[in-house]
Amino acid sequence: MTEEPLTIVTTVADGVARIEWPAYVPASVVRREVAAALTAHARVEVLLDPRDETAQRVAAWAGMQREGTMRGVTVSGEPQDRLVYARLASDVPLEDPQSFRSLLNSFLPRKRAIGQMLVRDDQDRVLLCQLTYKKDWDLPGGVVELNESPRLAVSRELEEELGVEIPAGELLLTDWLPPWSGWDDAVCLVFDGGVQPADLAAELVLQPNEIRAAEFKTMAEVRELAADFTARRIESALARAHGRGAPYTESGRAHPEA
């Protein structure tokens, strides 16, 4: 009688092995088999059902980092999503504390950060940008890159898209943006760009792929040109610039208890 193997390791590409295991197999066995496979491969990976939390824990304790989601994998004739976990021969040894931190970092939640700047003129109008990729106007700024300071990110965005150097001042507002129209949720940080000369808008050098126009607008004009949640965020940030209002909002709205 042939004993059923506890794990199945298959070479799927040059230097790449794919491992599978039944639900009853403990993490210690998978960890041992992954280590053995790495003696002959540079990479060992596994594709897991997103609903199978037990298998995900086993993969993590076996030292495999979560890399993302492979969409539309054919399983039993049907397209299904699969989580990709993998360990490389070059990864830090499991007994090193950095390895544990890297494992956690691979699957703990990550939230997108957006940096924006509130720039005003002496009439308390707000610098607003007409973007090429959506109809609504918005504050200048953009997505914070991986491992980039949000404060530096917003100044970088202004320099790249408007050709102006304005150091980011005080953090005026933290605004949480719920999931919307294909986007995951995000946190928007609005920094103070201070009061600038009214003729600044005429001197801006616009990045044509991103910005159609940039002009100082009154709050009444902001409400006409911007999405409602953007207008609420700008109004909240403007209030903060004048020492009023809450420092934290959700979709531009302060918490009722704030």
Q: Could you give the CA distance from residue 109 to residue 137 in angstroms, rounded to a whole number?
A: 30
Q: Could you give the CA distance from residue 175 to residue 190 in angstroms, rounded to a whole number?
A: 8
Burial 132-165, CB ≥16 within 10 A → b, else e: eeeeebbbbbbebeeeeebbebbbbbbeebbebe
Smallest Cα–Cα separation from 178: which of 118, 232, 104?
232
Q: What is the pLDDT of residue 257?
A: 57
Q: What is the pLDDT of residue 15?
A: 97
Q: What is the pLDDT along the chain (258 residues), one digit of tens a residue?
A: 445 568 999 999 999 999 999 988 999 999 999 999 999 999 999 999 999 999 999 999 999 999 999 999 988 899 999 999 999 999 999 999 999 999 999 988 889 999 999 999 999 999 999 999 889 999 999 999 999 999 999 999 999 999 999 999 999 999 999 998 888 999 999 999 999 998 999 999 999 999 999 999 999 999 999 999 999 999 999 999 999 999 999 999 997 654
Q: What is the pLDDT of residue 76?
A: 85
Q: Could you give the CA distance from residue 250 to residue 88 in angstroms, rounded to a whole number?
A: 40
Q: Could you give the CA distance from residue 129 to residue 219 in angstroms, rounded to a whole number?
A: 14
**What's the pLDDT tens digit per position in 171-230?**
999 999 999 888 899 999 999 999 999 899 999 999 999 999 999 999 999 999 999 999
Contact 191, 118 (CB under 8 A): yes
Q: What is the pLDDT of residue 2?
A: 47
Q: What is the pLDDT of residue 3?
A: 52
Q: What is the CATH number of domain 112-253?
A: 3.90.79.10
What is the 3-state secondary structure of the chain?
CCCCCCCEEEEEECCEEEEECCCCCCHHHHHHHHHHHCCCCCEEEEEECCCCHHHHHHHHHCCCEEEEEEEEEEECCEEEEEEEEEEECCCCCCCCHHHHHHHHHHHCCCCEEEEEEEEECCCCCEEEEEECCCCCEECCEEECCCCCCHHHHHHHHHHHHHCCCCCCCCEEEEEEECCECCECCEEEEEEEEEECCCCHHHHCCCCCCCEEEEEEECHHHHHHHECHHHHHHHHHHHHHHCCCCCCEEECCEECCCC
The domain ranges of the chain are: 8-107, 112-253
Predicted TM-score (pTM) of this structure: 0.84
Same fold, 8-107 and 112-253: no
Domain 8-107, CATH class in plain words: alpha beta
Q: What is the pLDDT of residue 4?
A: 56
